[in-house]
Amino acid sequence: MRVALQITCVNDAMFPDTGKAVVRLLRRLGVDVDFPQAQTCCGQPMVNTGYLDEAVPVVRTFVDAFAGYDAIVTPSGSCAGSARHQHSIVAERSGDPALVAAVAETAPRTYELSEFLVDVLGVTDVGAYFPHRVTYHPTCHSLRMLGVGDRPRQLLEAVRGIQLVDLPNATECCGFGGTFALKNADTSIAMGADKARHVRDTGAEVLVAGDNSCLMHVGGLLSRERAGVRVMHLAEVLAATEDSEGESSGPAVGERAGDLA
Amino acid sequence: MNGTFVGMPAFPTAAREALADTQLRRNLAHATRTIRDKRAAVVAEVEDWEDLRLAGAGVKEAALRDLATHLETLEASLTRAGATVHWARDAEEACAIVAAVTKAHGADEVVKVKSMATAEIGLNEALEAEGIAAWETDLAELIVQLGEDLPSHILVPAIHRNRAEVREIFLRRMGAVGRPAPADLTDEPAVLAGAAREHLREKFLRAKVAVSGANFVVADTGTLVVVESEGNGRMCLTLPEVLVSVVGIEKVVATWSDLDPMLRLLPRSSTGERMNPYTSTWSGVTAGDGPQEVHVVLLDNGRTRALADDVGRQALRCIRCSACLNVCPVYERVGGHAYGSVYPGPIGAILNPLLNGVSDEQTASLPYASSLCGACFEVCPVRIDIPSVLVDQRAAVVDSHRDDRVPKAEAVAMKAAAWTFSDSRRLAWAEKASGLAGRVMGRFSRRTMPGGRAAAGRLPGPAAGWTGARDLPAPPAESFREWWDRTDGGRDGSAR
């Protein structure tokens, strides 16, 4: 099986550790994951803001980059949703039958990480170790657009040492919403403030989700509040082992402020 | 006497003001949670709910697919049953018809059944201009009307008010337009409802003309259906001599049996009840029983425009249950007024642009009034894929500006992003630049985010909307792409 990692533009530029974690995790599970260098973005920022014409070349880049792979794995429910449900709209708009056909090939082969692990690889215990108090936020697109259901939860429950606590009002949107976070910043922040409050109420040390963009929003609010809660992508928790845990105060090593200086 | 939405600012501005209204936030959070939980409980009781949704969507879709035929059938069966059928292209025509019928009977007042169609066309204001008083008889509509307020919810237009506010409105305003509230009025819901009942009774008994809408119209029998919870509708539909019903053309269903799934879906979705308390049906005139003159105004007012939209036409399936409002995290926080229309919430965010187009700034802001979380689609009893229509309407907004002489900053940014994302080499350059910026930001950062990353400072321009309230991690010095290149995807062993 030829497996490609679709890193997503946000992870590529802002959260490379998530990508590294996916690579470590998949290799540990025996998958030789490839990173097609021609990939860029799924086109969702354009589509969801209404710029369908602008999304056409981006979707074209996507299908070209991932042509021929059996599975395209992405650590984002939102980007998987975009590939599966929106690329066909963009392709139709382009009026190019070749693009429509190419999308019909890549769309059904695109998997969000937890879907790939549970449905394709058939594993729930990925051999992870993460001795922290964790709460999980099911992101809207993974939950309602893809229907990942309790797959992430199954994966987290099998992690050794984890203390998983329920998030109140878990299925309510965090308020990120892509360009919504800027175009309707006040409403976005009001929604995020309530999500952050629910996170704090759990007493968790780590908020986990399958989309770094949502985590960037809620994590940004929690950070501004000095709430003492960090955010981590699901992949980073699942990649963590006894070895990685020993290497730092936190399991999946983020870039320290000091490293940058 | 009612307020008007004319001149409302675009959604982001209206929402900002609403978010600062602490009483509104509290009232809405409480009310939407209560209805939401009730709905969830009664929907969970129905084993074949999904099949029922499919059936409901199917009934409406079939009716819309052959709308012209069904409307002609409806006109013939209504006429046969003794009703007078009027066709109204827009709000102005519809209001003129109602005013003319009222005046023909020498009446200077009408009693009203709660109706979204008449709210949409601004009937009360139009009648007032003709010297005709329109009395709302639904409790929540009465609260809104007496308070000289605007509706903020499809089902519960006064949802933004709590009982203490309702008591105050009744005490202050009832006396000016009829029987005053008792001086010892408390804020007990039963006492408030009692005062409304007393106040309305004299209007019911006096009125010669009633105005209603309809939840459904059955084409082959010429039957109008009104679904309500308080019995005020039944009073309006049976007591006066003349009944005028303003009905959107999308309300038509083909046959009586088509009502079956609709009447099961609607109460559970809207009020969270298993069965609706007062369901009134009538077909034209029945000698010696009820109104002896029945008019039906079939209203377009943008519906054929929506029907012509391949993606958006599904919005015409809407049965005005409000389930999408009650689950919407945006609606819950900003309330209905921010949408600037009698149709607020997720359905309003698609229905208003579909009915009216997106040429004005306020309507054009509505498709963006959503985080696209999809909770609305999940609860919609007729399976309107609201998120997809929202995205499609956003495209309509963008397309309407494609010929602008000076493009918006957002359009320029999106074109630049599309250019960058169309070639991975361009993206790699952009990431190198962002990595450099990240190093600089990291050096000057005075904030460490939980977990250890340096925060970017406050950013200028549109990004200030982000960093005003949210910390943003400084971009990492090395992108994933660069890491993969440098370490051969981590295979060189040095990878971290």
pLDDT tens figures, B118-156: 999 999 999 999 999 999 999 999 999 999 999 999 999
Three-point CA angle B464, B465, B466, nearest 5°: 85
DSSP B302-340: THHHHHT-TTGGGGGG-----HHHHH-HHHHHH-SGGG-
Residue of B379, B399, B453 best to disrupt the A interface, most CBs of A under 10 A = B453
The whole-angstrom distance between B122's CA and the closest CA on chain A is: 29
Residue A227 confidence (pLDDT) above 90: yes
Q: Which residues have C-beta within 8 Å of that of residue A162, sequence separation ≥ 6?
A: A130, A131, A132, A134, A156, A237
pTM: 0.95
Which chain B residues are Cβ-neighbours of A50 within 8 angstroms? Answer: 367, 391, 393-399
Q: pLDDT for B189-237, tens place per residue?
A: 999 999 999 999 999 999 999 999 999 999 999 999 999 999 999 999 9
Name the pLDDT band for B443 (thresholds 50, 70, 90). Answer: confident
pLDDT of residue A249: 38
Q: Which residues have C-beta within 8 Å of that of residue B277, sequence separation ≥ 6?
A: B228, B229, B230, B231
User: What does the alpha-carbon distance between residue B373 and residue B346 come to, in Å, rounded to a whole number?
Assistant: 11
Q: Is A230 helix (H, G, I), strand (E, B) or coil?
A: strand
Write down the ipTM of this complex: 0.94
Q: Could you give phi then psi for residue B249, rounded to 5 degrees?
A: -65, -15
Mean pLDDT of chain B, nearest integer: 96
pLDDT of residue A258: 39
Query: Which helix (H) or strand (E) segment is B111 a member of?
Result: strand B109-112
Segment among A147-151, B54-58, B273-277, B446-450 with least mean pLDDT: B446-450
**Most distant CA pair in chain A: distance in Å?**
54
User: What does the alpha-carbon distance between residue A57 and residue B418 come to, in Å, rounded to a whole number?
Assistant: 7
User: What does the alpha-carbon distance between residue A139 and residue A174 come to, in Å, rounded to a whole number?
Assistant: 8
Contact B415, B369 (CB under 8 A): no
Which residue of A40, A50, A186 is in closest CB contact with B395? Answer: A50
Residue A136 confidence (pLDDT) above 80: yes
Query: Which helix (H) or strand (E) segment is A92 a member of?
Result: helix A87-94
Which residue of A7, A11, A173 is in closest CB contact with B371? Answer: A173
Q: Which residues have C-beta within 8 Å of that of residue B309, sequence separation ≥ 6?
A: B354, B392
Tell if the CB–CB gap between B375 and A140 is shorter than 8 Å: yes
pLDDT of residue A245: 63
Arithmetic mean of pLDDT, A165-184: 97
Arithmetic mean of pLDDT, B41-52: 98
Residue A252 confidence (pLDDT) above 90: no
Residue A255 confidence (pLDDT) above 90: no
Arithmetic mean of pLDDT, B44-53: 97
Which pair of structure tokens corresponds to residue A225? 């509040």
User: What does the alpha-carbon distance between residue A98 and residue A102 come to, in Å, rounded to a whole number?
Assistant: 6
What's the Cα-to-Cα distance from B405 to each of B314, B399, B401, rounded to whole Å? 34, 13, 9
A63 shares contact with chain B (CB less than 8 Å): no
Q: pLDDT for A32-68, tens place per residue?
A: 999 999 999 999 999 999 999 999 999 999 999 999 9
Which residue of B19, B420, B477 is in closest CB contact with A187? Answer: B19
User: What does the alpha-carbon distance between residue B330 and residue B90 come to, in Å, rounded to a whole number?
Assistant: 30
B186 shares contact with chain A (CB less than 8 Å): no
Task: Quote the DSSP letter at residue A248.
Answer: S
User: What does the alpha-carbon distance between residue B207 and residue B291 come to, in Å, rounded to a whole number?
Assistant: 12
pLDDT of residue B197: 96
Three-point CA angle A219, A220, A225, nearest 5°: 95
Placement of tokens 């657009």 in the chain: A145
pLDDT of residue B463: 84
For residue B191, count CB atoms less than 10 angstroms from its CB and return exposed for 0-12, middle for 13-18, buried for 19 or more: middle
Which pair of structure tokens corresponds to residue A33? 């994951």
Contact B409, B444 (CB under 8 A): no
Which chain B residues are Cβ-neighbours of A227 within 8 angstroms? Answer: 450
User: What does the alpha-carbon distance between residue A35 and residue A23 come to, in Å, rounded to a whole number?
Assistant: 9
Q: Could you give phi then psi for residue B90, rounded to 5 degrees?
A: -145, -175
In chain A, positions 94-133, which contact chain B (CB-CB < 8 Å)?
A: none
pLDDT of residue B6: 84
Segment among B119-123, B392-396, B450-454 with least mean pLDDT: B450-454
Mean pLDDT of chain A, nearest integer: 94
Q: Which domains are assigned to chain A?
A: 3-120 (no CATH), 133-239 (3.40.50)
User: What does the alpha-carbon distance between residue B246 and residue B214 come to, in Å, rounded to a whole number?
Assistant: 7
